[in-house]
Structure 1
Amino acid sequence: MTHSDILIIGGGIAGMSAAFFLAKAGKSVTVLEREDQPGYHSTGRSAALYSETYGPKIIRKMSTASRSFLITPPDGFTENPILSPRGIIMTAAPGEEAKLDAILTEGRANGANVIALTPDELKARIPVINTDLIIGAAHEPDAMDMDVHALHWGFIRQFKSQGGTLITKADVSSITKTDGKWHVTLGNGQTHSGDIIVNAAGAWVDDIATKAGVKPLGIIPKRRTAVMVDVPADVNAHGWPLVANMDETLYFKEDAGRLLVSPADTTPTEPHDVQPEELDIAITIDRLMTATSIEVRRPGESWAGLRSFFKDGDPVSDFDPADNSFYWLAGQGGYGIQTAPAMGEYAASIICGNGIPDHMQKLGVTKDALSASRSSLTTGK
């Protein structure tokens, strides 16, 4: 049996970002990842974009709190830039004026460069867009594409360089607690012990909680689909920002001369190696053809990934209400890549008893917003 200060279950972006900051704080940390390679299910299937205006309010704050790390990561973190120019345009339909105003106002208050666009200005930037049902848009030119692999493996490499241990093929069989210590037994019979468990198992966090005798919080794994589409020969999509509608039912972006399109679907499912469904692919194409003048005769390759949500749509980063040695780090709902530096730093700071980092407090990040006992988790609000 090996013992660590902290056992982290899950080697995706959530678990590895927390592992990096915990090891940096001097903790002995072991990460247990069930797959052959970390990041297989969600992290590795993300077409991530860094935006300070996209997602729920707490996500936007944590994205802003991640900005400096992503722009200037630690020495030796990665050989390639994590961020590269892209931009994002959020379109608003009639009745979404308040949402559009909130994106513009809050984004600017957080220091983001956000520009209001009229339908005509939007059309000038994205000629294929159908503006008949668009009353305006918010353009964040500084939003960036993210190199997910560079970020994830940067955390892994630096975690290991600080003495951290990453164990793959570590399928958790049972979890017990004896004399204040957690004991995690793997399918191969190995046992690892720790003072604290960090549950960062993505879609499987409730399963891990159940094995540990901890009450599940109600994580809901949801399927998200992406489809590649050819761009018409007379359309030059090079340099387009990502375009998403305000109600998050469609986004598309240019990718190597084609379009990557997603209906931003959130179909509840069981945690498993999820694959795209024919109906979701058809919905994706229909929404793209409604929103633009692009005709799609035959979709290209497609894939799906898991996104995990709590009832209110916000993530959880907190000790369990009934056990202050069991830490929940989950429910990031598709925003886990762009918020990873801040979420990892936040979790490490709370676990180490240091409270909320100063730069996050200045942005208005509160413990209540990420609490495992907030009322919205039980009421569904």
Structure 2
Amino acid sequence: MNRHDIVIVGGGIAGASLGAVLAEHAGVLMLEMEDSAGYHATGRAVSFWEETYGGLAVQPLTTASGPMLAAPDPDFCESPFLTPRRTLHVGRAGDAAARDRLLEQFGAKVDLVPVDPAALVPGLRPEWSLGVLEPGVCDIDVAALHQAWLRRFRRLGGEVRLATALRRAEARDGGWRIETDAGAIDCGVIVDAAGAWADDVARACGVAPIGIAPLRRTVVQLRVPAMPSADLPLVMDLGSQFYFKPEGEGRVWLTPHDEEPSPPCDAAPEEMAVAEAIARFESVVDWPVEAVERKWAGLRSFSRDRAPVYGFDPAARGFFWFAGQGGFGIQTSPAAALLGAALLRGEALPPQIAGIDPAPYSPARFR
């Protein structure tokens, strides 16, 4: 029989980051149902560090994560995970209320500058006349970050078991007995970091689900030889209908910002969503699209109020939720991991996140 202090279910950015913090002081096993960790949402992310992305509930976690991503501890990684990008929030005349709301909500927290968008994006169609620049936005090297978390986890003694799914679990003897494809495991705490499968994992453990909803997001890579520069900002619609960003010379990553409800699955793009993405792109800039080079989809998982869920389930002793990160789990992973570890261990928050209130993220809000 295997015995561990903590079993984390899920090896994506959520499980890997939390495990890398917990493994310093506990025996931690990570169960990943796929043959490789991060196969689903983490491996398909178009990720950037943007303080306004995700709304006011997510912003404190993003802001606190910024310094840790820009200048990581050399013991964690020798290179920063961020490179400058900027975001240009754009809109038409009818989006003035959305622009004003963005400035009102975040103007005191984030550096935001009203601008003429045509001055920043050559070829922008004239009706896109409203612009707000968010100059601090950066691209994130997602693969490097995820691998750094896993590397630290293993170095501290954490164990990863791939192609091993939790099938069921039962509370017993002050802890849990977990049945997996490879046999039984005993542990003190189960961490549900299973992303789109978070509610399924809870049910398998006899814990009531809290309503984590997977939503499909479509992404396409376009070849656009007329694109003026690879250094252009990420362009994000104030009306939440698209965003796109350069991905090297003459290439763009584009999403129609879709959120189609989906069961947990190996998500695939639908042709209608791809066509809608291209149509929206062509309505914004006059850069002719030469080809669709790639297309993919991933599942972003949200709680009912769209804020992450971190903490022990009040009705299930030893069951810890670390889920519902939506599309923000990568940019918030350093702060979220510190927060989750402090809550799990019952400790004070560390200095890097001392100003964050954990209450809005508690699963108790759904019980």
How many Å apart are 1:232 and its aligned residue? 4.0
TM-score by length of 2: 0.94
Question: Is the contact made by 2:310 and 2:321 (CA closer than 8 Å) also made in structure 1?
Answer: yes
What does residue range 95-114 of structure 1 map to in structure 2 within 5 Å?
96-110=95-109, 112-114=110-112
Instruction: Say yes or no: does 1:12 pair with 2:12.
Output: yes
* Structure 1 range deviating more: 208-217 or 168-177: 168-177
How many Å apart are 1:247 and its aligned residue? 2.9
Question: Is the contact made by 1:220 and 1:309 (CA closer than 8 Å) also made in structure 2?
Answer: yes
Structure 1 residues 166 and 147 mapped into 2: Cα distance closer, same or farther (>3 Å)? same
Question: Is the contact made by 2:98 and 2:239 (CA closer than 8 Å) also made in structure 1?
Answer: no
Structure 1 residues 81 and 361 mapped into 2: Cα distance closer, same or farther (>3 Å)? closer
Question: Is the contact made by 1:80 and 1:150 (CA closer than 8 Å) also made in structure 2?
Answer: no
Partners of 1:330 and 1:246 in 2: CA distance: 27
* Aligned partner of residue 8 in structure 2, secondary structure: strand
- Aligned counterpart in structure 1 of residue 138 of structure 2, from 138, 144, 158: 144
Q: Which amino acid aligns with 2:216?
A: R
Determine what percentage of the aligned residue pairs are the same residue: 37
Alignment: residue pair count? 366
Q: Which amino acid aligns with 1:126?
A: V
Question: Is the contact made by 1:315 and 1:330 (CA closer than 8 Å) also made in structure 2?
Answer: yes
How many Å apart are 1:47 and its aligned residue? 1.4
* Aligned partner of residue 219 in structure 2, secondary structure: strand
How many Å apart are 1:297 and its aligned residue? 5.7
Partners of 1:346 and 1:74 in 2: CA distance: 18
TM-score by length of 1: 0.91
* Structure 1 range deviating more: 340-349 or 238-247: 238-247
What does residue range 62-73 of structure 1 map to in structure 2 within 5 Å?
62-73=61-72
- Aligned counterpart in structure 1 of residue 198 of structure 2, from 199, 205, 223: 205
Partners of 2:332 and 2:353 in 1: CA distance: 12
What does residue range 272-291 of structure 1 map to in structure 2 within 5 Å?
272-291=265-284
CA-based RMSD of the aligned residues comes to: 1.9
* Aligned partner of residue 198 in structure 2, secondary structure: helix
How many Å apart are 1:361 and its aligned residue? 4.4
In structure 2, the partner of 1:222 is 215
In structure 1, the partner of 2:245 is 253
Question: Is the contact made by 1:46 and 1:305 (CA closer than 8 Å) also made in structure 2?
Answer: yes
Q: What runs of 5+ residues in structure 1 fail to find an aligned partner? A: none
- CA deviation digits over 1:174-212, x for unaligned, max 9? 211111111111113x22221111100010011100010
- CA deviation digits over 1:294-343, x for unaligned, max 9? 33364221111111111222211121120241111111111111001111
- CA deviation digits over 1:212-241, x for unaligned, max 9? 0000111111111111112243x4122101
In structure 2, the partner of 1:46 is 45
Instruction: Say yes or no: does 1:367 pair with 2:366.
Output: no
Question: Is the contact made by 2:314 and 2:364 (CA closer than 8 Å) also made in structure 1?
Answer: yes
Structure 1 residues 96 and 327 mapped into 2: Cα distance closer, same or farther (>3 Å)? farther
How many Å apart are 1:61 and its aligned residue? 1.3
Question: Is the contact made by 2:6 and 2:187 (CA closer than 8 Å) also made in structure 1?
Answer: yes
Q: Which amino acid aligns with 1:29?
A: V
How many Å apart are 1:248 and its aligned residue? 2.1
Structure 1 residues 86 and 22 mapped into 2: Cα distance closer, same or farther (>3 Å)? same
- Aligned counterpart in structure 1 of residue 235 of structure 2, from 223, 233, 243: 243
In structure 1, the partner of 2:343 is 350
How many Å apart are 1:137 and its aligned residue? 2.2
What does residue range 290-369 of structure 1 map to in structure 2 within 5 Å?
290-296=283-289, 298-362=291-355, 365-369=356-360
Q: Which amino acid aligns with 1:195?
A: G
Q: What runs of 5+ residues in structure 2 fail to find an aligned partner? A: none
Q: Which amino acid aligns with 1:168?
A: L
Question: Is the contact made by 2:122 and 2:228 (CA closer than 8 Å) also made in structure 1?
Answer: no
Partners of 1:19 and 1:315 in 2: CA distance: 17
Partners of 1:308 and 1:109 in 2: CA distance: 29
Q: Which amino acid aligns with 1:173?
A: R
Instruction: Say yes or no: does 1:153 pair with 2:147.
Output: yes
